[in-house]
Structure 1
Amino acid sequence: MTAATTQGPILSFSVSEEVRSRPDQATVGAGVTTTASTAVEAMRANAAAMDRLIAAAKARGIKAEDIQTSGINLSPQYDYSNRTDGQPPRFLGYQVSNTVRATTGRIDDIGPLLDALVAAGGTNIEGPWFGMKDPDAQLVGARGAAIKAAEAKAADYARLAGYRGAELVSISEGGFAGPQPPMPYVRMEMAADAKSTPVEPGRVSNTLTLHFQYRLMR
């Protein structure tokens, strides 16, 4: 390679590749809300209700390490209706909300799991959120495709600019965006003959972005 060849301009660009796969894990949220005249009573009632909820999740095969509390809220409740100017609100009691999230790899069991949580007293249902246990493994093919696309793109730029080729200088990985979950379909109102709440997992997408630098060669 001559000195003149190595002095060509540097071409910088990025290539993104998207991979869509069927999810292999899902997370659902469930909680209960309790009220009582005192904070202690409200917390105790909520703890008992949450014990039943967690037991129901474990009965569906969810491991203890895959159940995580996502939020506990205790707040006083007041009635502001029918208050005249200067009249304080009427104190109603205390309300406690507690939510846990459970993660499972049994995608086909999400519907029955939701049904079990509701049957155990769960009233605040969230999710499901779908994802991949190992999103990096999903991107192996995307890396190869991105590199191949970059080679073709660099060669095209070189040809259009009047150079004979392009030499790879550097690759860096960044801008990983994923997984992007689908909008799941969950119908909690079941028909009389339905076996469980229907859930459609769809596919999750991961997007990989690689940054390239090529030196154009004459």
Structure 2
Amino acid sequence: MKSPAIIAAIFATALGATPFCAPLALADDFPSAVSVSGEASVSAAPDLAQIDAGVANDAKTAKEASDANNAAMGKVLLALKGAGIDEKDYQTSRLSLQPQYATSSKTSERATSIVSFRASNRVTVKIRDVTKVASVIDTLVGAGANDVGNISFEVTQASKLLDGAREQALADARRKAEIYAKAAGVTLGAPLSISEGGGPMPLFKGRIAAAPMAAAPAQVAPGEETLSVTVNVSWAIKPKEQ
């Protein structure tokens, strides 16, 4: 025989009403917690550099500009190969051929006359020995590259180097949580959740202006990169034992 409560629920459902249901869990069933973030960082020397290098040529016709640019970039690529850069470590990043228009002293007049064409070609180069960055730049400039820049440094094993910092970040989070727990008159229990955020940031990015026949060698300072990690932790809290 069905209980009166079940019969009432069935009757209410038949009439289109929402039957009353007891909550599955009360608020008191969820553990109280304190949530904090911990941070830590470590410094490391970069072991990978990346630069962009390009050549640009102007000529009266599109074909002349393109032919001159192809020849110039060919010398740059040969120079990279001669410097010991693996072919997998340099890649064309931009190739363009654009008309150049005549300029007018009258701002109201739009320039419509094509006076020349400009061809440009850029290549991105990875340098796996950062001590050779300056010499590679000198090689590029000596081979005819007239636009070198967008240099950046990277620590390739950043995640592995952060392992020690992760332990420090967790300890930092616990230190903060204990301060809050003491101030609130409770004690910490077991951690309920742990999540990681943050990551390494490039130390330097910039542009190097280089003349085709630079008199002095390129000056490059890789420096160090600061790798940081943030950990978010929630601890259960319980009343302090009397």
Deviations 1:19-62 (A, max 9, x none): 22111111111100012223233222212111111111121111
Is 1:93 the counterpart of 2:116? The answer is yes
> How many residue pairs end up in the alignment?
211
Partner in structure 1 of residue 32 of structure 2: 9
SS at match of 2:134: helix
Partner in structure 1 of residue 136 of structure 2: 113
> Structure 2 matches for 1:118-137, cutoff 5 A?
118-137=141-160
Q: 1:140 aligns with which of 160, 163, 177?
A: 163
Q: Give the alignment's TM-score, normalised by structure 1.
A: 0.85
SS at match of 1:108: helix
C-alpha distance in structure 1 between counterparts of 2:40 and 2:208, whole Å: 30
Partner in structure 1 of residue 230 of structure 2: 209
Which is further off, 11-20 or 94-103?
11-20
Say which one has the larger Rg.
2
The structure carrying a bigger strand percent of its residues is 1
SS at match of 1:155: helix
- In structure 2, do the counterparts of structure 1 residues 18 and 157 end up closer, same or farther at CA, with 3 Å as the change threshold? same
Q: Quote the offset at 1:80 in angstroms.
A: 1.2
Q: 1:178 aligns with which of 192, 200, 203?
A: 200
Deviations 1:96-148 (A, max 9, x none): 12111111121111111111100000000103211112221121111111111
C-alpha distance in structure 1 between counterparts of 2:175 and 2:136, whole Å: 48
Partner in structure 2 of residue 33 of structure 1: 56
Partner in structure 2 of residue 3 of structure 1: none
Is 1:70 the counterpart of 2:93? The answer is yes
- In structure 2, do the counterparts of structure 1 residues 157 and 89 end up closer, same or farther at CA, with 3 Å as the change threshold? same
Over the matched positions of the two proteins, sequence identity in percent amounts to 32
Q: Does structure 2 conserve the Cα–Cα contact (< 8 Å) formed by 1:53 and 1:121?
A: yes
Partner in structure 1 of residue 221 of structure 2: 200
Q: Quote the offset at 1:177 in angstroms.
A: 3.3
CA RMSD, Structure 1 to Structure 2 (Å): 2.8
C-alpha distance in structure 1 between counterparts of 2:175 and 2:224, whole Å: 29
C-alpha distance in structure 2 between counterparts of 1:185 and 1:45, whole Å: 25
Letter in 1 for 2:167: G
C-alpha distance in structure 1 between counterparts of 2:193 and 2:110, whole Å: 71
Q: What residue ranges of structure 1 are gaps of 5+ in the alignment? A: 1-5
Partner in structure 1 of residue 19 of structure 2: none
Deviations 1:158-217 (A, max 9, x none): 11110122321111122x23232236797968997x6x3221111112221211111112
C-alpha distance in structure 2 between counterparts of 1:140 and 1:153, whole Å: 20
C-alpha distance in structure 2 between counterparts of 1:207 and 1:170, whole Å: 20
Which is further off, 58-67 or 13-22?
13-22
C-alpha distance in structure 1 between counterparts of 2:214 and 2:90, whole Å: 29
- In structure 2, do the counterparts of structure 1 residues 64 and 138 end up closer, same or farther at CA, with 3 Å as the change threshold? same
C-alpha distance in structure 2 between counterparts of 1:170 and 1:11, whole Å: 11
Letter in 1 for 2:227: N
- In structure 2, do the counterparts of structure 1 residues 125 and 87 end up closer, same or farther at CA, with 3 Å as the change threshold? closer
Q: Does structure 2 conserve the Cα–Cα contact (< 8 Å) formed by 1:132 and 1:179?
A: no
SS at match of 2:84: coil
Q: Does structure 1 conserve the Cα–Cα contact (< 8 Å) formed by 2:203 and 2:224?
A: yes
Q: Give the alignment's TM-score, normalised by structure 2.
A: 0.77
